[in-house]
Every structure is written in C-alpha cells, then in structure tokens.
Chains A and B, each alone.
Chain A
C-alpha cells in the first residue's frame, strides 16, 4: 500500500524531473520510456495497471490530453512487448536496448496517431535515429536506477 501511495505522488515528480532535465540537456531521453521499460521487463503483471494509470495521470497533469490517451500511449507498447518476457532474458543487455529503441520509436508515433484521431493530446514529435540510439544507451541505465529505488523496487517481480 505504501508503495502505491508513494508511486501515486512520485510519478508526477518523475515527470517534473524529466521536464527539468530536458531544459538542461536536449539529448536527455523521455523518462516515460524508463517507466514503460520497467513495466515491460520487471514489473509484477498484477501491478501493471496501477503503475501505468498513475504514470498516465501524472503525464496528463504536465502534458496536453486526458489520462486515457496517455494510458494508451504508454500501455500499448508495453502490451506488445510483454509477451516477449518468456522468450528473452531480462538480464540480456541487448534485449533491454532493443526494447528501449522500440519504445523510443513507438511512443511519439502513437501519440501522433491518437492526436490525429481525437484532435487532443500531444502531437507526435519527430524522432531521429540519433534520438533512438541515445534512448537505447540511456534508458536501460535509468530503468536500473528506478527499479533499485522505492517505490518501483517494491512493485517489481520477485527474482525466483
């Protein structure tokens, strides 16, 4: 319960930190990617809806669009990659990098698609190959940091 309360309020601060870091350096990748990668690789399946709903709600506070559209933007790529947990080892660095690249490619495109369909939310941003490469390098490290700290460390799958 404590983990959920912490995540409910800290998710917003994570995205505030994202906004601050983007102001410092243009190259810093979106922290939503790290949350999505955590959901794909490490989160308990039963905790996935809660993690994503809190993240979507916090994103809707700081970005345009409703929580439902942000939930789809974050949740659909997670739903696509989640079945691959049984195929790939979560310790594989290559798989972490590939999943990060996929998320960095898909999230802005999904946002753009939903913006075109509904007329609300975040218009899709242009993502260059360099942006995807940077995300492949940085997002696994940020995800490691996130899952090492509470509250997400309390919401990850047990290791056995």
Chain B
C-alpha cells in the first residue's frame, strides 16, 4: 500500500520549511499544548526562584568603548559633528543578505542629519529618512536592494534619494608605482560572489593587470555628493576570474564591516543639534522577571529551558534572557507568557558579538558555536577571521530585544578562525527578559 499520508505530510513539512510564517501560529499553539506538562513541572518547585527588583545588567564600560570604536577615525561633511546611534535591528534584502539597518531614532529626530553613515573610518551606507516623523530612521547599506515596500512612501519635495553608486578608488601598482584605479561601486546581483561590484572602470587596461585581491577600496571625489569625504574605506578589492593568467573577469568589493555585526553607527549631525546618545539597554527597555526551568534535551543541545513570565507581560520573540548582567540565551517563539530558550552554550545560530580587549578596545565579530573543548571552553567560529586578542565577550546587536552589552564570558584566540570562550558557570538566581519600553506600554494598555 502506498503511504499517501506520509508523503503528503512531508510535502507539507517542505512547505513549512520554505514558508515558516505560514505554519507558525499552528505550531506555536500545538507547542503550547505539548509544553503543558513542562509548565506544570515548573510550578511544582523545580524552577529557579524569582527575586524582587530589577537591575540594569548591561556593562556601561563596553558601551562607552563601543561608541569610541564606532567613531574612531571617522570623517564626515564639514560643519557636522559625529554622534553614535544604536542599531535596533538588521534587515535582509531579497538576496538574503543584510542590507538595511533600523536605527533607534525616529525620522523626526534626525531631520537635518547628513546622509553619510560611517562605522570607524568605513563608509557603510546612507541615512534614509523616508516615512512619517514617528517612523524609525534606516540606514541603507551600500549593498542595498530595493524592496516592494520601499516604493510605498511619501516623497517629500526637496528630499534627496540616497545614491546607488559611490565613486571609489583602489591602488593598482602593477604598471605604475603610483597607479590608482578609479571606478564606481554599486550593489551586486544575488548571483555575484561579493555584496558590492565595481563598474565603469576608468582604465580597463590597468584593471586587466591586477593580479592579487585585497587592495583597500576608498571613496574618491564625489561629483554629485560633496558631503561624502574622500578617503573613507569601503572594503577590499576582490578579483573574480583567472587573475594569475591575466584574465580578471570581474572586480568586486568585500565590505570592511560585516553588516550582521554592526551594533552602532556614526551619524553626522549639524553642530549644536546633538541629542542624547542611547546605547545602553536600560535606556530603551526594561527587564521583566521570569521563572526558569531546565530540562534535559537530546544532542547536540543537551539542555533546554522554559521561561514563564511571572507578571502579565508579553514576552517578545528573540528577547535576551539575562541573569545579573550575564547573557543566558534568546527566547524562541513565545506564546501565552511562556517561551523556550536554548542556552547560549548549546545554540547553533549565528551571533553578533563584541570582544573587549584588555586595552579597552571593542572589536565586533560575527560567529557561531561549533563545539566544546575538553576543558569546557566553547569553540566559536568567526565568519571573518581576524586577529582577536584575549579579553571579554559581550553580545552585539542581535535584534531589537537583544541589544549589545550583555556579558557572556572571557575569550582567548583559538586555532584558525576560531576563538575560545569560557562562560561563567554561576547559578541562575535572577532571570530576567529584556523588553523594549514600547512593548511594556502595549502590555499595560492591554490590561
């Protein structure tokens, strides 16, 4: 007998994997019913105690250092001063890569701000102030691709649209020791190997002599945007093709800054129009005490937690679970005041992280846990291997409800692209979930 039901179910599962949002409500409801025994067990006394009072668990020093690192070496238009703004969340474009940042500031707050957006000495994109005054300001990265909804906005008279192309230059010393190749940098297609590509080369013969990737691409004189300074870094020049045989087929740019790891950016504001910088989680949200129960889980997770809100609070998806300044994990698909949490040590997702070295420098990295050493240290594989020194590890911006600045553990360099992380093993005494102020207000209104 042909098992029609089984194959039909697998087709439905394939649909669910392709379009997770379609089945999410049914799954959440079913999971709540399945979790009823776990909830009952947590009430029966196995859960962690909930202490009264809340604290701001973010480390203010790392946020100060983060702000300093984001402004270090940056240059903007004349007459403008830098100010650091927190990145609230990142958004992926049609190609599945992050190409837009949503800032923790409204459009009305940022009127008059220069369009240039930098991180350190790197140009990352342009400020977009479209929409109503209460809407969140956004940063369109250089690799930004238009979405369907990006055409539905109120166009205001005199408003400048962010340019799609940037005049850039890169050293090309194969013929002339002073040789420089000039070109335009624009978003590449989804099939291209790097997010940015070079077009309209000023000297194709010079470009054909390029043999090695890695040259620093910087901004050149912009004929249509005098606000953008010359010499800001964009990324590394990458040659696609057969450069050693003298056939460089295409030139691309690998951005210097991984957009998934950006937790804060520098905006350039008119002198005298600076507002208060809000980098700390305590300035944009608060902490809701929860009850936490641990359960054994199969490999590779080993442990899974169930958190239950003690008060009548909405637990947001992806919110950070912290304990006295220590990051424990992120909530997953909360439903009716309870949520499952995979501990950070057992997680498989990619994290935006901050490494604070002993010299008080903050290095943003992106990586995921790939294993555990025999001595209990976590092996975190970085997406962009670089020189990471020993120091302390903190969360970067991992969504609106998991802001930068929560302490994770100590970090030491590992083999190749890996770092070794030792997390604190103190008992969890005061579990709290980070909730944005807006979410708290909505909960109060619902009551």
Q: B297–A72 contact, CB under 8 A?
A: no
Q: How far is the CB of B349 from chain A (nearest CB, A)?
A: 7
- Contacts A23-B302, A57-B30, A125-B300; is A64 near B7 (CB within 8 Å)? no
Tell me whether A71 and B10 are in contact (CB under 8 A).
Answer: yes
Flag whether B1 is at the interface (Cβ < 8 A): yes
A63 to B6 Cα, complex, angstroms = 23
In the complex formed, the residue of A with least CB distance to B333 is: A66
How many A-B contacts are there with CB distance less than 8 Å?
140
Q: Give the B interface residue count (CB, 8 A).
A: 44
* Stretch in A8-16, A89-97, A146-154 with 4+ CB within 8 Å of B: A8-16
Q: 30 interchain pairs (CB within 8 A)?
A: A12-B38, A18-B296, A19-B295, A19-B296, A23-B296, A23-B302, A45-B5, A48-B5, A48-B6, A49-B8, A57-B34, A61-B35, A63-B297, A66-B16, A66-B24, A67-B23, A67-B31, A68-B16, A68-B23, A69-B17, A71-B10, A75-B9, A79-B3, A79-B6, A79-B10, A114-B17, A115-B348, A123-B300, A125-B299, A125-B300
B6 engages A8 (CB within 8 Å): no
A residues less than 8 Å from B295 (CB atoms): 16, 19, 62
19 additional contacts (CB under 8 A) given A61-B304, A64-B332, A75-B13: A8-B34, A9-B37, A12-B34, A22-B298, A49-B9, A56-B13, A57-B31, A60-B27, A62-B295, A62-B298, A64-B301, A64-B348, A66-B17, A67-B23, A67-B31, A68-B16, A69-B16, A119-B349, A125-B300
Question: Which residue of chain B has its CB nearest to the CB of A123?
Answer: B348
Q: Are A16 and B10 in contact (CB under 8 A)?
A: no
B interface footprint on A37-50 (CB within 8 Å = 1, 0 otherwise): 00000000110110
In the bound assembly, the distance between CA atoms of A22 and B35 in angstroms comes to 21
A121 and B304 contact, Cβ closer than 8 Å, known pairs A67-B16, A67-B27:
no
Task: Tell me if B347 is interfacial: C-beta within 8 Å of chain A.
Answer: yes
With a CB–CB cut-off of 8 A, which chain B residues contact A59? 298
- The residues in B between 1 and 51 inclusive whose CB is less than 8 angstroms from any CB of A are 1, 3, 5-10, 12-17, 20, 23-24, 27, 30-31, 33-38
List the B side residues contacting A71 at CB < 8 Å. Answer: 9-10, 13, 16
Give complex CA distance A56, B301 in Å: 15
What is the CB-to-nearest-CB distance from B315 to chain A, in angstroms, rounded to a whole number? 16
Mask of B304-348 contacts with A, CB within 8 angstroms, 1/0: 100000000000000000000000000010000000101000011
**Judging by beta carbons under 8 Å apart, are B27 and A52 in contact?**
no
- Is the Cβ of B5 less than 8 Å from the Cβ of A63? no
A22 interface neighbour in B6, B9, B296, Cβ under 8 Å: B296
Interface status of B303 (Cβ within 8 A of chain A): yes
Main secondary structure of the interface of A (DSSP, over half): helix
Contact of B34 among A52, A58, A119 (CB under 8 A): A58
Verify if B357 is at the interface (C-beta below 8 Å from A).
no
Closest chain A residue to B299 by CB distance?
Answer: A22
A63 to B8, CA, bound (A): 24
Give chain A nearest CB distance to B130 CB in angstroms. 29
Flag whether B410 is at the interface (Cβ < 8 A). Answer: no
Task: Assess the A122–B304 pair: CB atoms within 8 A.
Answer: no
B330 to chain A, nearest CB (A): 11
CA distance A63 to B296 in the complex (A): 10
Cβ of B199 < 8 Å from any Cβ of A? no
**What's the minimum C-beta distance from B279 to chain A, rounded to whole angstroms?**
28
**B-contact 0/1 string along A96-124, CB 8 Å cutoff:** 00000000000000000011001111110
CA distance A105 to B6 in the complex (A): 21
Contacts of B348 in A (CB 8 A): 64, 115, 121-123
- Nearest residue in A to B6 (C-beta to C-beta)? A48
B297 A62 Cβ-Cβ under 8 A: yes
CB distance from A116 to the nearest CB of B (A): 11
Whole-angstrom CA separation of A9 from B30 in the bound complex: 11
Give Cα distance in the complex from A76 to B15, angstroms.
Answer: 14
Please give the residue numbers on chain B whose beta carbons come within 8 Å of chain A beta carbons, in ascending order. Answer: 1, 3, 5-10, 12-17, 20, 23-24, 27, 30-31, 33-38, 295-304, 332, 340, 342, 347-350, 370
Interface bits A1-37 vs B (CB < 8 Å: 1, else 0) = 0000000110011011011101100000011100000
Q: Given A63-B297, A63-B301, check contact A72 B349 (CB 8 Å).
A: no
Q: Given contacts A62-B298, A64-B349, is CB(A45)–CB(B6) below 8 Å?
A: yes
Q: Which of B16, B296, B340 contacts A16 (CB 8 A)?
A: B296
Residue A53 interfacial (CB < 8 Å): yes
A68 touches B17 (CB 8 A): yes
Contact partners of A60 in chain B: CB under 8 A: 27, 31
Enumerate chain B residues within 8 angstroms of A68, measured Cβ to Cβ. 12-17, 20, 23, 27
Q: Are A45 and B3 in contact (CB under 8 A)?
A: yes
Instruction: Check A82 for interface membership: any CB of B closer than 8 A.
Output: yes
Chain A neighbourhood of B31, CB < 8 A? 57, 60-61, 67
Distance from B370 Cβ to chain A, minimum over Cβ atoms (Å) = 8
Is A135 close to B, CB under 8 A? no
Closest-CB distance, A119 to chain B (whole angstroms): 7
Asked whether A63 and B9 contact (CB < 8 A) given A32-B298, A82-B3, the answer is no
Chain A residues whose CB sits within 8 angstroms of the CB of B342 once the complex forms:
64
**A53–B31 CA distance with the chains assembled, in angstroms:** 11
What is the chain A residue whose CB lies nearest that of B301? Answer: A63
B7 to chain A, nearest CB (A): 6
Nearest CB on B from A54, distance (A): 8
Per CB-CB distance, the 7 closest pairs between chain A and chain B, nearest first, are A68-B16, A19-B296, A62-B297, A71-B13, A49-B9, A123-B348, A19-B297
Residue of A nearest to B19 (CB): A68
